[in-house]
Structure formats: C-alpha cells, structure tokens
Amino acid sequence: MHKQLHIALIQIDLIWEQPQANRDAIERMVTTITDTVDVIVLPEMFTTGFSMNAVKFAESITGKSVTWMKTLASKMQAAVMGSLIIEDAGKYYNQLVFVYPNGELSSYKKRHTFTLAGEDKVYTMGNERVIINYKGWLLYPLVCYDLRFPVWSRYNNDYHVLLFVANWPKVRVAAWNALLQARAIENMSYCIGVNRVGIDGKGHEYSGHSACYNPLGETISAFVENENGYRIVVLNKDELTTTRERFKFLDDRDNFTLK
C-alpha cells in the first residue's frame, strides 16, 4: 500500500471534435512530466470537447482512443483516466475510462446527463458506482454534472479520493468552485476536479479552475484562470486517516439507501 499518491491534473484547451489533434496535444503535455506521477487525469470528453455528435465520434472500448490511453499509461508507468464518447450495443455513453499501466481498465458511465444541453437525449445514463482500487487507494471517479448531486457522491465507507472530470463553463464556475470544496468537506475526502479551458465549437467558454482539496476543504492546489498546463498534487493516506479519526464527522451521517 502506498501512503502517498501523486496525481497529475491535466487542464488543457480541447480542440473541437478533433480526436487525433487532442490526443497529440495531451500526449505532448503529459510526456513533459518528469516528476513522480501515479495517476494522470484528463478532462471530460477529452477527444472532442462536450459534443452531442455521438454518432460520428463514438468509439468502442477497444477503439483508437482507449488503445492510445493504454500506450500512454505504459509509457508513463502511470494510470490514465478521462471520459470520452463510447458506443456499446447501439447505445452511446459519456464514459470515464481508467487505464492501469499494465493495460487493464475500469470504466464508469456518467450517471447524471446534462439535460440543459440535451445530453440526456443523446447519451444513455449509467446507474452504477465504480470504486477503483489503485495502489491501495480507493478512487471514486465521477463526471461533470454529477458534481451537483451530493447523494451520488456520498461517502459510504468506500473511498479515499473523489475525482471529477469536466467541461464546466466559465459562466457557472462559481458553482464548480463551491461544490468541489463542499464535496471534500461533507465526505471528509480528498476531492479533485479537472476542467478544460478554451472555447468550444458552440461558443461556450471554459476557464478551468481545476483544483484539489483536502478532507477539511482546504485548497491543496488550484490553477490560475485559463491556465493551460498541468499540476501534480500529492495525497497522503496518513493525513486522511488522522483527519477522519480526529473529527469523526462521518459517524454522525444520516442513514438512508439510494434507490
């Protein structure tokens, strides 16, 4: 078990609906990392931006982008995660894929599709929580709009780190900042959010604000507005355990079952 986990947050200007160009740009950025890194986190829909053009850009779980993720994970000897458009049995998903350095993978299908943009009309929602065990750390990956729903993010004695990947627009970035911090506080968990920057094909602007918070909601790292680059955060298992044991706020949670 690793007491520390080094996570690289990749905040990048995605090129609208150009998978190869995005893969190339991400790889150029990632391969400049020389520090220790265990997990590399890419934004939501890192191949296309937040596109509703699923028929044209969907890939299979064994397609070019996931194969590229496996190659990158092997090259960096680090896990690589991010969401992209996946087709499975005639349905389309905004699906987060977590690729281990050895090529194995786990995946999570976005639970809350963004109705304001019509995502629910294009993409099928997932219904399963996925907890990833990596180097003795339990990671709970979620996607963008999931951030607004605290019940789905709720700690059930099952994770150490909440991870959100997003295309969260600048116009509502105040909510992004507040909710990431709130999820860390209420779950006494490390909470990481990785957002994109730039302007997409529909004219929506993204200012980033990727960040990492500790179990008390204190900022470990935050990007400068519109920053195009990466940051590495170091999480400490002993700090997490000590904080939870000292304050014991989680012991006073209301008991309920999500149906």
pLDDT, tens digit, for every residue of 115-155?
Answer: 999 999 999 999 999 999 999 999 999 999 999 999 999 99
Q: What CATH number should be reported for the domain whose range is 4-250? A: 3.60.110.10
**Is position 104 annotated as part of the catalytic site?**
no
Q: Which is catalytic among the residues 70, 109, 119, 144?
A: 144
CA pseudo-torsion sign 179, 180, 182, 186 = positive
pLDDT in tens, 6-55: 999 999 999 999 999 999 999 999 999 999 999 999 999 999 999 999 99
- DSSP character at residue 139: E
**Is position 212 annotated as part of the catalytic site?**
no
User: H-helix or E-strand containing 54?
Assistant: helix 54-57
Q: How far apart are CA 118 and CA 116, in angstroms?
A: 6
pLDDT of residue 258 exceeding 90: no
**Is position 191 annotated as part of the catalytic site?**
no
256 pLDDT band, cuts 50/70/90, is confident
- Calculate mean pLDDT across residues 163-175: 98
Q: Which is catalytic among the residues 70, 109, 110, 170?
A: 110
Q: How far apart are CA 5 and CA 7, in angstroms?
A: 6
β-pairing, 211-213 vs 219-222, is antiparallel
Tokens of 169: 């627009």
257 pLDDT band, cuts 50/70/90, is confident
Q: How far apart are CA 93 and CA 251, in angstroms?
A: 36
Q: How far apart are CA 115 and CA 230, in angstroms?
A: 30
pLDDT of residue 259 exceeding 80: no
